[in-house]
């Protein structure tokens, strides 16, 4: 139960998905009926089912201390509170803890995430929609109740909305005091939860949105309102010009290894087997990352490998078996530690079966094919463009003429030798390259190099047939050139080439290649193009 996934969805669906985790079927029906009925004041709180304190603690392993601190700060029913600032790294269960805590307390709250509400206007309108019990749907053409762009309008509307909500909550309390009803919002406090606040820092540099949100409590002057901010950045990263009123901090540390074990053990079909698996993999992986989402993706494929020798997945492994499984898994741990993401889909596993066959053939040829394959399709033209862009970014523009003269770069043997003379010079150049990164180039240069390379690569395979192949090659290159610009724009869109700002003197756009050398070499290899020959190596 990390906080991943939850922030992206709106509050309603967040709640639906949260409540659906135990039994998805029943909540589906509820969701449907919920869509039909008009919203009432009780929809501001989780009404359907109640959870006990023990459920709350056990649903979020390793967060006991934090939940208790939150409960302390939220205080007993109807007690005012200072704004609270909850922070901690990514995937530490901040959102889940808050939402579950409110489910346990059954108090009315409004949840807004700065991911979905990606600018002030949407954030303001989202808060107001929820408070005014407004649901955007077809009949109102998915519009908000109030249009509100400025903080000043927001404060006025918010005050009005909050007064209404608080009044009706007070009315509720008086009514329900006679007969106790289940599934009602309790108390007369309303809580506003702002999630992913760190994103609001980048909204608009000039706007005062963050100081405004931090000061909202003082501006509203309503003791019935509690503010909770969630952020994965610590409070010290929020300092602005004249500072702000600091909220009470609550810190969610990253999970420790033991806590991670508890979390990963949740909902496992065969706990014994999985715990023996975790004993093997968890420790090395914790040295690299302790984020639940990343560990889960890494472990899902590893666990499959771990279980491969087993016929019966329900087996309780003994020591002997464990040793056997471990020796089976061990060669896979190292490589998967060095992978960032590998989401196993059915399609790719089939494909990998196919490549396994191919590999057998390729190995005979003597090239380790696996590292030289590009794992996506690209037209030949796009590949050439990619190489050209790479060259244009790597080589200094002054050397273009000598690189791509009529002899097709054959004279760079001489230069190569001379570059070997001064080794330290080369090193410095390499260092510079590491720091500076690829350079930029105008479109004309790219097209010129493209023209040269395409003509050269036409001639290259059979240099003897240069004379008669010329005309044919010409027509082919013309065909290629026709949609070069189209290919270029799609390469830009795929972020292989980035389109930078325009040069102040020339006015034209400048481009930059974003691919690594290894990648460029791979692409060149697939075209049988001698890229290394054209690379300027400093000196």
Partner 1 sequence: MGVDSPAEQAQILLRTRLCNPNFIYTIFSDSPDSNYSKLKYIMSSSVTEACNNSALLLGPRGCGKVAILEMVIKDLLQEYPDTICVIKLNGLLHSEDNCALKEIARQLCIENQLVFSKMASFDDNSQFVIAMLRECGLAHKTIIFVLDEFDLFTQGKQRLLYSLLDAMQSVTSQAVVVGVSCRLDADQLLEKRVRSRFSHRKLLFLPPSQEDLQKILQHALLLPTESSLPPQYVAAYNKKLLNTLSDDKFKDIIDSLCNFDATFNHLLRFLFASVSHMDTKSGILSLDNFKTSLSSIQRQPKLEALQDCTILELYILVCLRRLEGKEQETTNFNSVMKEYKDVHNSFQTSDYYARNVCLRAFEHLLQRQLISLVDNRGHSQSLEFRPVKLLISSHELHQGLKAYRSCPAILHKLLGLAV
Q: Which of 512, 525, 533, 537 binds partner 1 (CB under 8 A)?
A: 512
Name which of 270 and 291 has its Cβ closer to partner 1.
291
340 token code pair: 């960032």
Residue 183 contacts partner 1 per CB under 8 A = no
- Count residues binding partner 1 (CB under 8 A): 70
Say which residues have a Cβ less than 8 Å from residue 183's Cβ, sequence separation at least 6. Answer: 42, 47, 48
Residue 504 contacts partner 1 per CB under 8 A = no
CA–CA gap between residue 538 and residue 395 (Å, rounded): 9
Residue 201 contacts partner 1 per CB under 8 A = no
Residue 265 contacts partner 1 per CB under 8 A = no
With CB under 8 A as the contact rule, which of the stretches 267-275, 372-380, 415-423, 499-507 interacts with partner 1?
A: 499-507
Indicate left, alpha or beta for 243 from its phi (over 0: left) and psi (-120 to 50: alpha): left
Please list every residue from 446 through 485 that binds partner 1, using CB under 8 A.
none
Q: Which of 27, 96, 232, 395 binds partner 1 (CB under 8 A)?
A: 232
271 token code pair: 């706990």
Q: Which of 500, 503, 506, 532 binds partner 1 (CB under 8 A)?
A: 500
Name which of 530 and 538 has its Cβ closer to partner 1.
538
Min dist. Cβ of residue 87 to partner 1 (A): 8
Please list every residue from 90 through 129 that binds partner 1, using CB under 8 A.
90
Min dist. Cβ of residue 290 to partner 1 (A): 6
CA–CA gap between residue 63 and residue 69 (Å, rounded): 10
Per DSSP, the residues of 62-126 read T-HHHHHHHHHHH-STT-----EEEEE-TTSSHHHHHHHHHHHHT--EEEEETTTS-SHHHHHHH
Please list every residue from 151 through 170 that binds partner 1, using CB under 8 A.
151-152, 155-156
Say which residues have a Cβ less than 8 Å from residue 514's Cβ, sequence separation at least 6. Answer: 438, 495, 496, 497, 498
Give me the numbers of helices (H) and strands (E) for the chain, helices first please.
23, 8
Name which of 388 and 403 has its Cβ closer to partner 1.
388
Owner of token pair 């967060």: 63
Owner of token pair 């390259």: 433
Residue 291 contacts partner 1 per CB under 8 A = yes
Q: 361 exposed, middle or buried (CB, 10 Å; 0-12, 13-18, 19+)? A: exposed
CA–CA gap between residue 318 and residue 324 (Å, rounded): 10
Q: Which of 5, 22, 24, 75 binds partner 1 (CB under 8 A)?
A: 75
Say which residues have a Cβ less than 8 Å from residue 531's Cβ, sequence separation at least 6. Answer: 387, 390, 391, 520, 521, 524
With CB under 8 A as the contact rule, which of the stretches 11-19, 400-408, 448-456, 497-505 interacts with partner 1?
A: 497-505
3-state helix, strand, coil in the chain (%, to 5): 60, 10, 35
Please list every residue from 315 through 354 that binds partner 1, using CB under 8 A.
337-340
With CB under 8 A as the contact rule, which of the stretches 79-87, 105-113, 345-353, 523-531 interacts with partner 1?
A: 79-87
Residue 539 contacts partner 1 per CB under 8 A = no
Min dist. Cβ of residue 85 to partner 1 (A): 10
Residue 234 contacts partner 1 per CB under 8 A = yes
Taking alpha carbons only, the member of 143, 133, 100 closest to residue 6 is: 100
Residue 290 contacts partner 1 per CB under 8 A = yes
Q: Which of 313, 343, 401, 435 binds partner 1 (CB under 8 A)?
A: 435
Min dist. Cβ of residue 168 to partner 1 (A): 17
Contact call for residues 453 and 404 (beta carbons, < 8 A): yes
Q: Which of 4, 49, 55, 69 binds partner 1 (CB under 8 A)?
A: 69
Bridge partners of residue 440, in order along the sequence: 512
Taking alpha carbons only, the member of 538, 254, 189 closest to residue 396 is: 538
Q: Largest Cα–Cα distance in the chain? A: 102
Name which of 22 and 500 has its Cβ closer to partner 1.
500
Min dist. Cβ of residue 480 to partner 1 (A): 26
**What residues make contact with partner 1 under the rule CB under 8 A?**
69, 72-73, 75-82, 87-90, 150-152, 155-156, 173, 177, 208, 211-212, 215, 218-219, 223, 232-237, 242-246, 248-251, 253-254, 286-291, 294, 337-340, 431, 434-438, 440, 498-501, 512, 514
């Amino acid at each position: 139960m990390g906080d991943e996934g939850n922030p992206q969805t709106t509050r309603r669906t967040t709640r639906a998905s949260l409540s659906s985790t135990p039994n998805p079927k029943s909540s589906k029906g509820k969701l449907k009926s919920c869509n039909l009925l008009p919203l009432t004041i009780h929809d501001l709180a989780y009404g359907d089912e109640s959870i006990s304190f023990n459920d709350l603690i056990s649903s979020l392993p390793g967060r006991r201390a934090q939940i208790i601190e939150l409960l302390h700060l939220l205080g007993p029913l109807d007690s005012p509170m200072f704004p609270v600032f909850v922070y901690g790294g990514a995937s530490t269960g901040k959102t889940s803890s808050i939402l579950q805590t409110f489910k346990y307390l059954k108090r009315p709250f409004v949840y807004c995430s700065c991911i979905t509400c990606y600018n002030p206007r949407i954030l303001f309108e989202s808060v107001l929609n929820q408070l005014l019990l407004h649901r955007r749907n077809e009949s109102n053409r998915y519009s908000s109740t109030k249009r509100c762009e400025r903080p000043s309008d927001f404060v006025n509307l918010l005050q009005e909305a909050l007064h209404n909500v608080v009044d009706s909550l007070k009315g509720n309390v008086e009514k329900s005091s006679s007969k106790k009803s289940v599934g009602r919002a309790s108390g007369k406090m309303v809580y506003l939860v702002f999630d992913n606040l760190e994103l609001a820092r980048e909204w608009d540099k000039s706007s005062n949105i963050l100081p405004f949100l931090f000061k909202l409590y003082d501006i509203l002057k309503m003791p019935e309102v509690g503010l909770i901010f969630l952020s994965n950045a610590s409070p010290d990263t929020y300092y602005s010009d004249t500072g702000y009123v600091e909220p009470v901090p609550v810190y969610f540390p990253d999970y420790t290894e033991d806590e991670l074990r508890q979390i990963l053990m949740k909902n496992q079909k065969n706990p014994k087997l999985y715990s023996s698996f975790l004993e093997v993999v968890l420790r090395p992986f914790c040295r690299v990352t302790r984020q639940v989402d990343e560990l889960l993706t890494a472990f899902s494929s590893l666990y499959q490998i771990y279980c491969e020798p087993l016929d019966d997945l329900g087996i309780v492994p003994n020591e002997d078996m464990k040793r056997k499984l471990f020796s089976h898994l061990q060669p896979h741990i190292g490589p998967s530690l060095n992978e960032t993401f590998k989401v196993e889909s059915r399609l790719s596993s089939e494909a990998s079966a196919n490549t396994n066959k191919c590999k057998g053939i390729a190995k005979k040829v003597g090239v380790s094919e696996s590292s030289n394959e590009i794992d996506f399709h690209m037209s030949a033209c796009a590949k050439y463009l990619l190489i050209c862009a790479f060259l244009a970014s790597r080589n200094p523009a002054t050397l273009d003429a000598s690189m791509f003269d009529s002899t097709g770069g054959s004279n760079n043997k001489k230069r190569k030798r001379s570059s070997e003379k001064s080794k330290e010079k080369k090193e410095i150049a390499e260092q510079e390259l590491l720091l500076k990164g690829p350079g930029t180039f105008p479109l004309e240069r790219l097209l010129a190099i493209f023209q040269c390379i395409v003509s050269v690569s036409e001639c290259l395979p059979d240099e003897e047939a240069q004379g008669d192949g010329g005309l044919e090659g010409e027509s082919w290159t013309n065909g290629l050139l026709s949609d070069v610009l189209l290919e270029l724009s799609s390469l830009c869109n795929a972020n292989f080439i980035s389109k930078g700002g325009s040069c102040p003197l020339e006015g034209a756009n400048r481009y930059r290649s974003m691919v690594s050398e290894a990648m460029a070499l791979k692409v060149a290899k697939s075209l049988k193009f001698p890229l290394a020959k054209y690379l300027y190596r400093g000196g």
